[in-house]
Structures are given as structure tokens and as C-alpha cells.
Amino acid sequence: MKNVEFEKNNIRLLIRALKRELTDFEKQKQSAFIFSKIESLDVFLSSKRIAIYWSLPDEVQTHKFIEKWCFFKTIFLPVIEGSKLIFKQFDGVRSMQINKLFGILEPQGSVLENLNLIDFIVVPGVAFDDLGNRLGRGKGYYDRVLKQMNNSCKVGVGFNIQKVEKIPVDEYDIPMDMIIWGQ
């Protein structure tokens, strides 16, 4: 188990260094490519309830996508509450507030109690492999909620530099149904 954590931390350090070299233009370009792919998926088009994250500067950028699709689908964004990740309905950028602990914008809408109602979830990660394995930031927030989303299509998104040959996994890690990479 210690070896798996050691390998995961090494990958996190490597990807963090590679991300620092990505320009804002490159992040925007790859993000636009990723979301154009998502918008062409039948499973996305038929989905009514979407879970997605409000991106941080080093992540695949989601803001434009969320603002575009919130008029056509019900969007839920994650909020960290203690040791849990919950999802709240996105009611527009103006209704979001900064979480004082993490300094990130969070929705203030109603809490989604039944995660099985999510049809499609876009999942961030530090790195992914071709087998659908995902490496997160290390707290396990997403893995704990993903195992409750039995009916959801789980889509990992990453910049092309976030693709690694093999993610070390343990019994808690939940694989993605598909990964979409930037180009």
C-alpha cells in the first residue's frame, strides 16, 4: 500500500511541474477541444442532470461550458463539506460564493440528495491512463461519491500532459467510463 501511495505522489509531482509549463492559451485550446468532444456524445446530449466541477486555474477549464449548458440541462457542482463532497445545483455565476477555507467559488443552490439522479459527470483528475484509471489530488472525495453514482456516465477530462502509462490503483479507486484528452 505504501508503494502505491509513493507512486501516486511521484505522478502528482510530475504532472504539477508539467502543468506549470502550459500557457493559458494552450489550456483554453485544449479545454475547448475536450468540451466539443463531450458535446458530440449521445450520452451527454440525452442527459438531463449533469455534474461537473467549477475549474481551478490549473484544471481543464469548465466555466464557458457550464454557462452555455445551464440553460438546457440541470447542472450540479461539487462543494466540500467537512470530509464529504456534496453536489449543489448551479443557479448562475452571480449566486456563487467564495468558500473561505479553499478560496474557490461554490454554488449556493439546493443539495442533490440522491447522487444516482446524475446522468453524466465530468470528473477532474491529476492524471489518467488509457484503462480509465484516475489519479486525484489524494483526499478521495471523488472516489467516495463516484461509487454512489451507479447510473452515471463518468467522464474524466485532462490536458494531453495528464496522460500517463499506468496509474497505480487500490480498492478505493473508481475508474472512469471514458477519458477525453485535450489536443
- 22-27: long-range contacts (C-beta < 8 A, 24 or more apart)? 22/159, 22/161, 26/159, 27/60, 27/61, 27/159
Q: Assign 138 a pLDDT band (cuts: 50, 70, 90).
A: confident
Q: Hey, what domains does the chain have and what are their CATH numbers?
A: 2-181 (3.40.50.10420)
Task: Output the DSSP codes for 41-83.
Answer: -HHHHT-SEEE-----TTS---HHHHHHHTTTSEEEEEEEETT
8 Å CB contact between 121 and 52: yes
Q: Is the pLDDT of residue 74 over 80?
A: yes
CA angle, residues 127, 129, 130, in degrees to nearest 5: 150
**The pTM is what?**
0.93
Give per-residue pLDDT as tens, 11-31. 999 999 999 999 999 999 999
